[in-house]
Each structure stands twice: as structure tokens, then as C-alpha cells.
Amino acid sequence: MPDFDLFVIGGGSGGVRCARIAASHGARVGIAEERHWGGTCVNVGCVPKKLMVQAAEYGAWARDAIGFGWSCMDGTHDWNALITAKNHEIARLNGVYVQLLKGSGVTLFEASATFLDAHRLQVGSDTITAERIVIATGGAPIWPDIPGAEFGIVSDHAFFLPALPRRVVMIGGGYIGVEFAGIFRGLGAEVDLLYRQKLPLRGFDEELREGVAEALTAQGVRLHPSVLLDRLEDMSGIRRLHLSDGRQFDAETVFFALGRAPNVAGLGLAHAQIDITPNGAVVVDEHYATSQPHIFAIGDVSNRLNLTPVAIAEGHTLADRLFAAPHPRNWSFAPVPTAVFSVPPLATCGLTEAQATANGPVEIYEARFTPMRHVMSGRGRKTFIKLIVDQASQRVVGAHMLGDDAPEMMQAIGVAMTAGATKQDFDRTIGIHPTSAEEWVTLRTCTRVVGQKEK
């Protein structure tokens, strides 16, 4: 008899949810985590990042208050106080994850796990067997293959810097680069953002990308599009960057924000004959099964839709299916609302304009405006919202927003889109006045129709 009915490799959000739900169904479950409970999101990702974004916004809010009659002066930011408070909150969340697992009857191993064969694992000093195994090891930051890469940092390091750098160069225009550019700039650093595309945030709606570039510039971030970093030198503690266009400049900190790759190093997947893609992602089918039908992979390690709530949903779904839940939850993975915690934040749900037009004609509804708060504050911050409507069915197939509270609004928009809401459903909904949110239900005039098929 195997030691466990289910063994989970990885104590991040997806792995923990899978373990807990399986245990609640009566399975004998073990879980291994070699670094920190809660995984990337809780420790070096979503949670501490958003705390730091909020910290970065307070200075601007203090200046905004002048427009409302308050006498405010620019203060100084205490980086160590922020990091200490952040660490305290993360430690609390680590403890919550551990207690949830123990309370569910899951056996915890604070160690790495490596496949010995398709049913046996080396977990620290123990050899264990399991009837079913779940790989939930997430992703890891990508380092560039350039001379001097060792003189830079990645996101894992940014949460533990001993002091706020005076000048930071962000390499990469994805969500990590954009978010940390806003964080460091908001806390007072000089920030340059380098990326190889013409606009940041490849894969997002084009008008959102344009808006983000404008917002970063308005915040004081210097943008360097269509450029690559060729090499990095250490000049007695100062980093000298050599760019693909021949330019050179110096910075205190160079932050590589080049995305993340599936975290499969050291798992011994070949010993279990588990197939992976050329970029290291574990290959799975629609039921999260790998090339070994009793071994599964969920979350970022399969590199499909790399979002914490998606990993949680996959873990929950898998546990229900494997251990015969009486009423399994039916999750919707299309559309999936998501956000980038830039300054200001953006949020999106469903298709971009380019994706939607590939399916046929769509109607575009847009609004650009200055929110009431910034009419008073005088801060040059605009809000942009966009609805994409399939012309034939009138279903809303895409929603995009850049501006204050965008992520909070998009969660509700996601509910409506998951339920199949049409433009007419939005039109007949009463708005809450005065709010920016009411703009979603007062978009009366179609801006344009695109994707018309040629006759």
C-alpha cells in the first residue's frame, strides 16, 4: 500500500488548495515545500508587491490632498519600516497556510521532492510512495543570457533590498517591469524602463498599452522602447549598461523583469518519464494529467494561464475529480479577469480588440475622462475604459480599463461576462452616481465597428 493517496509537490496557492480539498474528501495527503509556504504569490509576488504599490501611492495622495484644502508637505519614506511591516504580514500568512494544511489533516514536509520513478519520491531524507502525485512548483524568474547578468537582480530580490536604490533600471516591459517601475518611482527613485517592443505589456489590448506608456511617462519613468541590454558591467558598485543601440548609462540597481519560466529544476521528471515542452513546461491534458496518467500538474508549472486564482481553481477542480466530490465546482476559465498593479492600475477581462476581430465584426465603445478626484487634485491622471461587443450576438467579449480602482471594478465585470451579459444588459443597468464605475453602463455611442469581413 502506498504511503499516500495523493502527494503534492509545492506549497503554493494551487498546491495547498489541492491538498486541503483532497484531504477533506478523506484522502491521505502529503505535501512538500522546500522554500516558503504560500509560494511565490504570498512571499515574493502578488501580496508583497501590492503592499509596496500601496506604499508608493501614499506620497502622491498626500500631494493630492492640497487640492482639497489640506496643508501637506512632502515627507520622507522609511524603506526599512516598509520592508519590516511587509515581512511581518508575510510571516502571518505563512502561518495561516501551515495551519490550514494541518487542520485539514495533511502531512507536511519542509523539504524538496525529487522523482525516483513514477510512484516514488525522495523527499528530504525520506523515500515516500504515492498513488497519485501533483506537481505544483510554480515558476521562477528568468535571468538573461548576457555578460554581467550576475550584477543584476530579479523580483525575488526586490522585496529584500537593504535600501531603496536611488536609480533603478528595469529591463523588460511585462507586468513585473511595469509594476516595479511604478513602485520605485513612487517611493522616490529615478527609474528607467527598457523593453524590446514599441509599447510595454505585450499581449494586452493596444490602447491599454498606449495608455500605460503615457501614465508611466506622466509619473516620471523614463521609457526606452525597442532596445535590448547587450551586457552589464560592475564599475565599483555602479552598474554600467551597454545597450543594443550603442548607448551606455549607469545605475545603482539593474532589475531583470523578463518574465518567469516553469520551475522544474531538480524535480527529476525524466526518472518518471514526464514530458515537458522545449521551454520546460510540464505537458498536461484537459484534466491536468501528464504523460503519466496518475501524475498531474497545475498552476504556472504547466505554463498555460499563469495566475494565482487559476492555480487555485485547477487544484480544487483536480482534487474534486480525483476523490469523487458529490458537488464539484464548475469553474469558468474563459473569460478570466486579471489586473496589472501599475500606477494607475489596469484590469482586463476577455478578448483584446485584435483577438475579437479575428472572430468577426465587433463594436467598440470607449470613454476617456479625468476622475472627479483628480479634477480637484490637479494630478494629470486619466481613466480609460473600453468595451468590445460581438456585433452578431451583442455579447460583451472584452472589457479593458486603466485607472483608479480598475481591478475592483473588473471583478464584477468578470461576473457579468461569465454569465454571458450583452451590451443591452449593461445599458439597462442603473449606474451608481457619481462614480467612475457608472461609465460602464453609460457607454451609449459606438466608437467604431471593426473586423468587417470583405464581400
Which residues are marked as active site? 433
For 121, the enclosing helix (H) or strand (E) is: strand 120-123
Query: With contact defined as beta carbons under 8 Å apart, do 171 and 152 qualify?
Result: yes
Exposure b/e, 368-399, CB count within 10 A at least 16 = b? eebbeebeebebebbbbbbbbbbbeebbbbbb
Query: Rg (Cα) of the chain, in Å, rounded?
Result: 24
Q: Are strands 222-224 and 229-235 parallel, antiparallel or unpaired?
A: unpaired
d(CA 290, CA 136): 12
CB atoms inside a 10 Å sphere around CB 87: 14
CB atoms inside a 10 Å sphere around CB 334: 9
Q: Nearest 10 degrees: CA dihedral of 307, 213, 167, 381? A: -100
Query: With contact defined as beta carbons under 8 Å apart, do 6 and 304 qualify?
Result: no
Q: Are strands 346-350 and 338-340 parallel, antiparallel or unpaired?
A: antiparallel
Angle at 14 between CA 12 and CA 16, to 5 degrees: 65
